[in-house]
Structure 1
Amino acid sequence: MPTTATTSLRRPVNRYILNQHAEETAFCWLRRQEALWRPSYRCSHLQRLDQLLDAHLEGLRVAAQAALPIVLNNLQRWKTLDEVFACTYTLLHCGAVDWSPLERVLEAQPAAAKGAAAALIWSSGPSAEDCLQRWSNSAIPALRVASASAYVALHANDSPDVHNVWLAKTLVDPASEVRACALRRIGEWRLSAQTEHLQNVFMGHDALCRFESAYAMAWLGMPQADAALLETMPLVQGSRQRRGTLLFAMTAQPAAFETWVQQAQVDSTQTRALIWSLAFRGNALALSKLLEYLRMPQYARLAGYAIGHISGMDLDEQGLWQPEHQDAELTPHFSEDDGLLMPDIERLTEWVGRYVNSMPKGASLLAGKVMRTDNARPLLQAGWQPQRWQASVLLDMEDRRRHFLSQVPSPQL
């Protein structure tokens, strides 16, 4: 992991190499973000990306002053998350410099705060902590969002008292993104003293905060959690919806889960979320249901992965795949499916039938083993990315003192 000290250069700077470091830093980080939930990535794949990214970050770190004009120019040209990441990281290693060009971009492009937060997490150390504190008091909402997002990763293992002090400030922040970040951690940090606040927020009108309060309710095992997540999961998208789907599938009562399946079946916009929920549910009924989506070309590859997610079966090793049909280009494409094999529908259907008959009665499986913490731990190093997320939730639910979920993408982010 890169150190946080700034090293003075004592030799001429190669601008071409610095420019390459800046461009590759942005590119590798963007690839890494895309890989975090990707079902075709294992831990080893992500570690390789981390190594590449670390190498380019080291180039920016040791020549931060010389690299700063390059990353600022890229930032002004593109104003994207990845350029914000590269620029923030470089600024953190430059000492006393003007941060206003970056902060103006974040004010104009609030969604780019994720890139700034990632750079704070990756850098850590005194300079990151100083920035964390300064941005937490900024009048610019995007800076407070970046600070809050980085804080929860860098301080996940702080004491409940420290967490409560941070929550007291962030839960009343004017920006809903900041409040949502805090609400999520009430659940993941298992701060049961805040349950009344969750209920009050859920009765409000802010969709994002209502979802995160429902998500936290599920972590805390509150009786209204199932209904709350059912109501709010359709209000969010992307990784937030995936998180909610994962937790709901693992914690919902059978009747509530069946309600979700019925709702999603009649809403084509929820089909992929439904497939993921079946993967995370992991029981015989989920496996049988996934067979329906094998016969839909636009969902076949994801359904094939979901079957392997539950059973631990590898389509490639078992030879249960087939080449793409000639008319495959006419099938809707989802980038999430890149790298997944097209299942051999008939042979995989037969395989699932035999497998379901051999499953322990009433069991829910992850990677072919009963969902227990002793079975989950090895997946942190060996599983596909979605399996690693699910294993982390299982482990965090078992031990409140550990926070695997904040570390699962890598020890650094």
Structure 2
Amino acid sequence: MSVGLRVMRMVSILVDVFEEHLSEAAFHWFQWEQALLAPDANLQETAGAEERLRAHLDGLSVGGELIAEALLSPCLESEEPAELFVAAFALMTGDLDGAVEPILASLSSRPPGQRSSIQRALELVEWPDVAGFLRPLLGEAGPGLQALALEVLAFHHVVPDADAVASFLEADDERTCAAALRCLTPLPPHLARVHLPRLLVDSRSAVRDAALEAGLLSGTSLAWEQCLNGVGRGAIPTQPQMLLLGLRGGRVGVERLIRLLDQAELRAGALWALGFSGQVVAAEACLKWMEQEATARLAGEAFSAITGLRLEGVHAMDGREDSSGELPPLEEEDLDADLTPRPEDSL
């Protein structure tokens, strides 16, 4: 065999090895993200999943220019979220010249719904100049990319220019305004005085929630008053508001959560929030809903969190599935329903 053929053979074997790293990293990334939300995954199991993921990501990042060009860069055009995450992460951690441009190009060319994997890679990569990388997106990139850049900066707790970021508090785009609030948290006193009263009563729910979070973390009493008012007085509260009442609402907050249990559309959120209260009256409120099949698991989980009682053995429901095997009539089926499993579905 000639030297040229041997080299080609070695390169082929090398690419096969890195393709295996890519496939395994994509699989373990999905498993790790699921473990972060799963109610039955413990810290040790999640750490094990992360260790396996990191091993394959590290394997890809040492592939150099050859693997970046032959394997990783083409994956930036993939429609598979896991492959897209792995490619972006490995390129950013590979210490390669010119790795920034294809990632920015991929972000800019994709519709908003296909950017989350690259955003997740930007959040998790330990990059000293993440602000410098994102600065072009804060300019004239449009509200979707501006919001993405602000969310990544907030994840890293980096504010490259407080005045520039504060200008986004006036943004018409809901996501951009909310992301700017989280990026600036805790708010400097002058920004809290000028912007918080307006944003706490904003008509956009994501902005109100972000303002509430920013206000509480900035130590303003106005934010807590707004949280209580948002769950009382007939208003429809958001999930973050209900969670805050469960965490630190005291007697008044828990009473307001219990009243929400009578509203079917808010019942699941209120039960979940009550589980964080630690109060006897909240545990007693869960008992009624543990008797209802639709809410039994969630109410039981909340009751267990409050009391410490493990709902197993004689204290647990028989987990038999419906054995009829009959599908609902097509005209009664919601064809637009989101079938993505939620964390509470594992309870």
TM-score bracket for this pair, using the shorter chain length: 0.7 to 0.9
**Deviation sequence 1:301-355 (CA, Å, 0-9, x none):** 2222222222333335x76335422427889996424543xxxxxxxxxxxxxxx
Contact 2:28–2:49 at 8 Å: present in 1 too? Answer: yes
CA distance in 2, matches of 1:320, 1:32: 31
Q: What letter is aligned with 1:152? A: A
State the match for 2:87 in structure 1.
Answer: 87
Check 1:21–1:276 CA distance in 2 against 1; reply closer, same or farther (3 A cut): same
Q: Mapping of 1:40-189 within 5 angstroms?
A: 40-63=40-63, 65=65, 66-67=67-68, 69-78=70-79, 80=81, 82-92=82-92, 93=94, 94-97=96-99, 99-100=101-102, 103-105=105-107, 107-126=109-128, 128-137=130-139, 139-155=141-157, 164-165=162-163, 167-173=165-171, 175-184=173-182, 189=186
Give, in angstroms, the shift of residue 255 of structure 1: 3.7
Write the distance in 1 (CA, Å) between the matches of 2:109 and 2:172.
15
Partner letter of residue 76 of structure 1? E
Give yes or no for contact 1:264–1:274 (8 Å, CA) kept in 2. Answer: yes
Matches within 5 A, 1:203-222: 203-219=201-217, 220=219, 221-222=221-222
Cα distance change on mapping 1:270 and 1:33 into 2, 3 Å? farther
Structure showing greater radius of gyration is 2
Alignment of 1:206-355 (within 5 A): 206-219=204-217, 220=219, 221-222=221-222, 223-228=225-230, 231=235, 233-234=237-238, 241=239, 243-252=240-249, 254-266=251-263, 268-316=264-312, 320-327=315-322, 335-340=342-347
Please identify, of 22-31 and 49-58, the stretch whose mean Cα deviation from structure 2 is larger: 22-31
Q: Is the 8 A contact 2:153 2:183 kept in 1?
A: no
The CA deviation string for residues 235-263 of structure 1, in whole angstroms up to 9 with x for no partner, is xxxxxx3x443223223354454334323
Q: 1:202 aligns with which of 189, 200, 203?
A: 200
The Cα shift of 1:54 comes to 0.8
335 and 176 in structure 1: CA distance in 2 versus 1, 3 angstrom threshold: closer
TM (norm. structure 1) is 0.64
Q: Does the aligned pair in 2 maintain the 1:211–1:233 contact within 8 Å?
A: no
For 1:225 and 1:275, the matched residues in 2 are separated by: 18
| 1: CA distance, partners of 2:104 / 2:169 | 26
- Following superposition, the deviation at residue 229 of structure 1 comes to 6.0
Q: 1:311 to 1:114 in 2, by over 3 A?
A: farther
**1:50 is aligned with what amino acid?**
E
Residues 120 and 101 from structure 1, CA distance in 2 versus in 1: closer, same or farther, beyond 3 angstroms? closer
Amino acid of the residue matched to residue 214 of structure 2? A
Shift of 1:29: 2.6
- Does the CA-based 8 Å contact 2:192-2:215 persist in structure 1? yes
SS in 1 for 2:37: coil
**CA pair 252-172 structure 1, distance change in 2 beyond 3 A:** same
Question: Is the contact made by 2:21 and 2:59 (CA closer than 8 Å) also made in structure 1?
Answer: yes
Larger relative contact order (C-alpha < 8 A, sep ≥ 6)?
A: 1
Match of 2:32 in 1: 32
Structure 2 SS opposite 1:46? helix
Q: Partners of 2:59 and 2:78 in 1: how far apart?
A: 21
Change (3 A) 1:77 1:152: closer
Q: 1:315 to 1:254 in 2, by over 3 A?
A: closer
In structure 2, relative to structure 1, the CA distance for the partners of 1:322 and 1:298 (3 Å cut) is: same
Distance (whole Å) between structure 1 residues aligned to residue 107 and residue 323 of structure 2: 41
Unaligned runs of 5+ in 1: 1-10, 235-240, 341-413
Contact 1:84 1:102 in 2 (8 A): no
Helix, strand or coil for the counterpart of 2:275? Answer: helix
Cα displacement (A) at 1:168 = 2.3
- Tell me, in whole angstroms, the C-alpha distance in 2 between the residues paired with 1:126 and 1:116: 18
Following the alignment from structure 2 to structure 1, what is the Cα–Cα distance between the partners of residues 285 and 323? Answer: 24
Deviation at residue 288 of structure 1 after TM alignment: 1.0
Residues 84 and 118 in structure 2, CA contact (< 8 A), matched pair in contact too? yes
The answer (yes or no) to whether the contact 1:278–1:286 under 8 Å persists in 2 is yes
State the Cα distance separating 1:107 from its structure 2 match: 5.0
Cα deviation digits, residues 23-53 of structure 1 (max 9, x gap): 3333333333333333212222221221122
* Distance in 1 between residues matched to 2:72 and 2:236, nearest whole Å: 39
The whole-number CA distance in structure 1 between the counterparts of 2:323 and 2:108 is 41
- Provide the identity percentage: 20
Structure 2 CA distance for aligned equivalents of residues 67 and 78 of structure 1: 18
Alignment correspondent of 2:332 = none
With over 3 angstroms needed to count, the CA separation of the structure-2 counterparts of 1:195 and 1:24, relative to structure 1, is same
TM-score of the superposed pair, with normalisation by structure 2: 0.75
Q: Residues 15 and 323 (structure 1 numbering): CA distance in 2 closer, same or farther, change over 3 Å?
A: farther
TM-aligned CA deviation for residue 149 of structure 1: 1.9
What SS does the aligned partner of 1:209 have? helix
Query: In structure 2, how many angstroms separate the alpha carbons of the residues matched to 1:74 and 1:262?
Result: 51
Q: Which runs of 5+ in 2 are unaligned?
A: 1-9, 329-338
Do the aligned residues in 2 keep the contact of 1:215 with 1:229 (CA within 8 Å)? no
Q: 1:70–1:245: structure 2 CA closer, same or farther, 3 Å change rule?
A: farther
| Whole-angstrom distance in 1 between the partners of 2:89 and 2:140 | 19
